[in-house]
Chain A
């Protein structure tokens, strides 16, 4: 158990709809990352938050947005969904702000989104 909790585990919705994915990081971790993994594809980095602030942005579509709340949980909002958005969405957390000390990512088990 990585300590990272993602809900829901599965989500089925129709094109054009909007969904919210939720992530609770490991206790004490300040940083949250969101990744997208389509079938048989690699992990595509979407966005990173650190202690409530956006830290880095990857290949995230304008239809997607995220935020990290004061209690450090994070939500990824996907809107105007398209068939191609069907994928596994992973959240990971790490403890940053420790100088050059390494800080591995700890991943949740993902939310499987199916857009029909």
Chain B
């Protein structure tokens, strides 16, 4: 299984752009990279998924370099409601998924 490394925590202020980078050095060829968001006492919520280059949706952007050994989740103009834990997972959808410790993002006013 590909192992991921993310910062344990990050702090930001409202209105700023936040970039969270995840390292996944031994990602498999078939793995997509998926990011989830989790609020306290709630189940994780799918944010975005990509295979290479850049993916953008209404919530975030995901940047994946050509070697695919890392990925960066970009949250534009964060608000207090973006305070959560963010997890990245390499994911083929065919095997058990192990969540790492995630990155705890704290957004302050």
Contact = CB atoms under 8 A, between A and B. Distances in A.
Interface of A: 2, 4, 33, 35, 42-43, 45, 48, 55-58, 88, 90, 92, 94-96, 98, 100-110, 112
A107 B96 contact: no
A42 B98 CA distance: 10
Rank and list the top 5 A-B pairs by shortest CB-CB distance, nearest first: A107-B43, A103-B93, A56-B96, A102-B32, A43-B99
- Chief secondary structure at chain B's binding surface: loop
A18 B46 CA distance: 32
A100 B97 contact: no
Nearest to B92: A100
B42 A109 contact: yes
Contacts of A56: 95-96
Contacts of A43: 44, 87, 99
A58 B95 CA distance: 11
Contacts of B32: 102
Interface of B: 30, 32, 34, 36, 41-46, 49, 51, 87, 91-102
Given A102-B34, A102-B49, A105-B44, A48 B93 contact: no
Contacts, number: 67
A59 to B, nearest CB: 10
Given A96-B93, A102-B93, A103-B93, A108 B43 contact: yes
Nearest to B29: A100
Given A43-B99, A94-B93, A96-B94, 12 more contacts: A42-B99, A42-B100, A42-B102, A45-B97, A55-B95, A58-B96, A92-B43, A92-B44, A102-B92, A102-B93, A104-B34, A110-B41
Given A2-B43, A58-B98, A110-B43, A105 B36 contact: yes
Nearest to A58: B96
A42 B94 contact: no
9 contacts: A33-B97, A42-B102, A45-B97, A55-B96, A58-B98, A100-B92, A101-B93, A103-B93, A104-B34
A86 to B, nearest CB: 14
B91 A42 contact: no
